[in-house]
Structure 1
Amino acid sequence: MVVADDFFLSGLNKPGNTSNAVGSWVTPVNVNQLAGLNTLGISAVRIDYAPYGLNPPHTHPRATEILVVLEGTLYVGFVTSNPANPAMKNKLFTKYLNPGDVFVFPEGLIHFQFNVGKTNAVAFAGLSSQNPGVITIANAVFGSDPPINPAVLTKAFQVEKNVIDYLQAQFWTNIG
């Protein structure tokens, strides 16, 4: 039986803990936290940023994201990848956002947000899926378990093995 609580969640007024390696925290509201979102095609997140905090480059394989800044100033952007038009290949789109500003990250594209200010920042985002997924690029590539063979990564990134060894030795963790 469905009840009102299946469609209710409190707590997005509480800041997330940004005392981590990247200085941000994502509080999700998707079908895993709120059963009532099942089949509705929407979800949301609250993102808290410490001064100079980063929501690292990541992608949502199943959703477009619309971000609204409530506090602070964010430098945001996304990168196109393998489009039909070669002139748009790996094109970076960026903006500086202030409170009340909105920016859209198209589905599946790598994107990021960086707090450029000396104070905390807060943003909310809506996503076009009840289960948008998230792939944090550095975590997936350098923090996989078991690790990706360094020979693959040295060739892919065109760097020496010691760089790959260093990156794979870092403490990779999901934020939020």
Structure 2
Amino acid sequence: MKTSTFAVSALIVLGLAQSCCAQPFMFEAGRFEAGITEPAARRMDNFTGFVFDFNNATAQDRTPNGMLQQNQVAQNPFLSTLPGDGNGQTIVTMGPCAGNTPHTHPRGSEISFMLYGSIEFGMVEENAGMNRLIFENITQNSTIHVPQGVLHFSHNPNCEPAAFLASFAHKDPGTQTMWGSMMRVPTHILHSATGLPERLISGLKQFPLVTAPGTGGEACLRRCGLSFQTANHLTPLNATDLVP
């Protein structure tokens, strides 16, 4: 009797363990063969993405005054073998007066660490937070926390370069740039949302969109001897020019 009770209990515990714990450690359907565990997939891949070298990373966004280098699943498939949503990183290098345009990450919260230099960093809370603006000066060795989906931006107000490392709670956090998205909304809809004359909105849509990191801030441009037109002309950037 005791043996039978023990056997039944063992089967129940085993069943609960399989039902509650097996799924989080399996890959997305269709991504790998059924039954392949994450450690097995990493072994099959020979751990090629275990170390990611930003020194040799290609810039996904590049202007004459900054660049964004990503360690996300599109650049490093090894991240597909991590549990759950995984994680990812981006190094944002900003030259004098460079700005990382207002944007959101729809699939991941962000923690950014200031590598060198200093920047202005801000975010705007969601509607339930009264759209409050949080705007701070961020210096070297400081960390910034940005909730998933919250609008945020940064600007280097100095004549020296700056850089920060953004880490995400997702292997593919995504990015949606606000200005580019807004300019794709029909003009009459923007008129109803803002009250601005449609001719003014149509005029705004004629301006070219600047690839991040853009360069601006009239006072900063004057102080550093730069111009908006030349600073945002898309030409190849030598990464060594931005190393302090």
TM-score (norm 1): 0.84
User: Whose helix fraction is larger, Structure 1's or Structure 2's?
Assistant: 2
Q: Is the 8 A contact 2:113 2:141 kept in 1?
A: yes
Change (3 A) 1:33 1:15: closer
1:93-113, Cα deviation, whole Å (9 max, x unpaired): 121011111111111100001
Specify which of 164, 169, 194 is matched with residue 128 of structure 1. 169
Q: Is the 8 A contact 1:66 1:125 kept in 2?
A: yes
- 1:29 deviation in Å? 1.0
For structure 1, which segment, 40-49 or 161-170, has the greater mean C-alpha deviation from structure 2 after superposition?
A: 161-170
Q: Percent identity?
A: 25
Change (3 A) 1:13 1:116: farther
For structure 1, which segment, 151-160 or 129-138, has the greater mean C-alpha deviation from structure 2 after superposition?
A: 151-160
Taking the aligned partners of 2:118 and 2:58, their CA distance within structure 1 comes to 17
Taking the aligned partners of 2:171 and 2:144, their CA distance within structure 1 comes to 20
Specify which of 133, 147, 150 is matched with residue 187 of structure 2. 150
Look at both structures and tell me which one has the larger radius of gyration over its CA atoms.
2
Taking the aligned partners of 1:119 and 1:15, their CA distance within structure 2 comes to 23
- 1:164 deviation in Å? 1.4
Q: Does 1:113 align with 2:154?
A: yes
User: Which ranges in structure 1 are unaligned for 5 or more consecutive residues?
Assistant: none
Counterpart residue number, 2:75: 33
Q: Is the 8 A contact 1:29 1:44 kept in 2?
A: yes
Q: After the TM superposition, which segments of 4 or more aligned residues of structure 1 sit over 6 Å from their partners?
A: none
Q: Is the 8 A contact 2:54 2:69 kept in 1?
A: no
1:27-66 aligned at under 5 Å gives the runs 27-38=69-80, 40=82, 41-66=86-111
Residue identity in the other structure for 2:125: T
Change (3 A) 1:121 1:15: farther
Change (3 A) 1:67 1:139: same
Counterpart residue number, 1:91: 132
Residue identity in the other structure for 1:7: F
How many equivalent pairs are there?
165
Counterpart residue number, 2:202: 165
**For 2:49, what is the secondary structure of its paired residue?**
helix
Q: Does 1:6 align with 2:49?
A: yes
Counterpart residue number, 2:116: 71
Change (3 A) 1:13 1:120: farther
- 1:71 deviation in Å? 1.6
Change (3 A) 1:139 1:12: farther
**For 1:6, what is the secondary structure of its paired residue?**
coil
Change (3 A) 1:132 1:12: farther
Taking the aligned partners of 2:210 and 2:51, their CA distance within structure 1 comes to 29
Taking the aligned partners of 1:172 and 1:116, their CA distance within structure 2 comes to 21
Taking the aligned partners of 1:14 and 1:42, their CA distance within structure 2 comes to 17
Taking the aligned partners of 1:39 and 1:132, their CA distance within structure 2 comes to 16
Residue identity in the other structure for 2:186: N
User: Which ranges in structure 2 are unaligned for 5 or more consecutive residues?
Assistant: 1-43, 214-244
Q: Is the 8 A contact 1:8 1:34 kept in 2?
A: no
TM-score (norm 2): 0.62
User: Whose strand fraction is larger, Structure 1's or Structure 2's?
Assistant: 1
